[in-house]
Amino acid sequence: MLVTADHGMIDIPRQEMDDRAGRIDAATHPELSRGVDLIGGEDRFRHVYTREPEVVAARWAEVLGTRAVVLTRADAIAADYFGPVAPHAEEIIGDVVVATQGRVAIQDSAQQSAASLGLVGMHGSTSAVEQDVPLVAVLG
């Protein structure tokens, strides 16, 4: 018998603690909410939709520093974050892509439910723990 899962998860502290751990609420952060039309994706891998991708990407990169890798859609596709992307699927990807690092999550209290804001285990970013797919083989 083979037992597997689709990804790993990490625990994220409930509050913003320091540069490497905690949650950031983009809805209440003036520099992260300015110029943003919609935030999608996972708390650890955000898709930010905006009419000003270069400006918003630069601002998010400045605010988040080492807590995230911030790329425009074109840069994320060029860096192979999504594997091969068909032309008709490109517009689904956020204008800005944000991959948090460490034990950091970006939440959006304006759009997320209280239940999703309260989750401790999260996934979706680029850490080895999140990208590893466990597989157990039971021989018998």
What does the angle CA 37 – CA 38 – CA 40 come to, to the nearest 5 degrees?
160
Confidence of residue 15 (pLDDT cuts 50, 70, 90): confident
The confidence score (pLDDT) of residue 113 equals: 94
Residue entry with tokens 């952060």: 29
The confidence score (pLDDT) of residue 8 equals: 76
Q: What is the CATH number of domain 12-119?
A: 3.30.1360.180
8 A C-beta contact, residue 123 and residue 6: no
> Over the chain, what is the mean pLDDT?
92
